[in-house]
Amino acid sequence: MGPRPKASLKAILEDPEAKKALELLTRSGASREDLLVSIQCAVDSYLFPESYDMFVVDGMTREGVRGLPDQLRWTARTIEMVNDNPHLEALHELSHIVSRLPSDLRRYADSLERTIKFGRQFMKKNPKYWDFQAVFKRKLLSYVCRTTGRPQYAAVANLLNAAVSAAGIDDFVEPSSLRKLFIRRPKIEVPNRKRF
């Protein structure tokens, strides 16, 4: 992740449309500070990829994460084979830990495998769940709607466009796209955990 883009209030208010939008929203009941925090969160969301991959682990490939349960089971079998050799017996102080290790590794492998299967099904059913730009734009629209009585798409678009521009991000938000985003809230489908 690169440096955090910052949209200063001064830079946002240099845009006359954004200045009018901020005045309209604060006159209508929104808090200036809360608006600016929500706008900064929306700007920060541009740092994240369009869709987050829940299987990312530092130092491992996606395939490595998916294959980890099998590796753990293989390690458990290997430890049992070593434990069966009387010449490689563990120190007495460690024998109770080593004797439990294969079963603990298998339990962890089974649990991890269920979590991975559940996560894959969840992401297939909810591909936009981790779309942070959409999430924070919706939060901003919800806040504006709750405090002013309406989502105020044009005013929010003007503020967002000034903020992303001030932060050096090349994007333009249309009021119509905000309207679609706000109206079409994704229904989260959770797979049945008992299947896994």
pLDDT tens by residue, 7-46 = 677 888 889 999 999 999 999 999 999 998 999 899 888 8
Task: For residues 104-130, give the mean pLDDT.
Answer: 87
Range with the lowest mean pLDDT among 36-40, 74-78, 101-105, 190-194? 190-194
Q: Please give the DSSP secondary-structure letter assigned to residue 50.
A: S
Top-confidence residue, 188 or 21:
21
Could you tell me the two tokens for 44? 């920060």
pTM over 0.75: no
Evaluate if residue 196 carries a pLDDT over 60.
no
Closest CA to 164 of 137, 141, 143: 137
Task: For residues 95-120, give the mean pLDDT.
Answer: 91
Report the alpha-carbon distance of residue 187 to residue 60 in Å, rounded: 31
Closest CA to 139 of 189, 187, 181: 181
Which residues, 6 or more positions from 31, have their beta carbon under 8 angstroms from its beta carbon?
Answer: 147
| Domain boundaries of the chain, sorted by first residue | 9-50+131-186, 62-125
Residue 135: predicted pLDDT: 86
Task: For residues 113-119, give the mean pLDDT.
Answer: 91
- Compute CA 165 distance to the chain's CA centroid, rounded to the nearest angstrom: 24
DSSP notation for 136-192:
HHHHHHHHHHHHHSS--HHHHHHHHHHHHHHTT------HHHHHHHHHSPPPP----
Which residues, 6 or more positions from 3, have their beta carbon under 8 angstroms from its beta carbon?
Answer: none
Report the alpha-carbon distance of residue 5 to residue 164 in Å, rounded: 8
What residue has token string 């779309």? 131
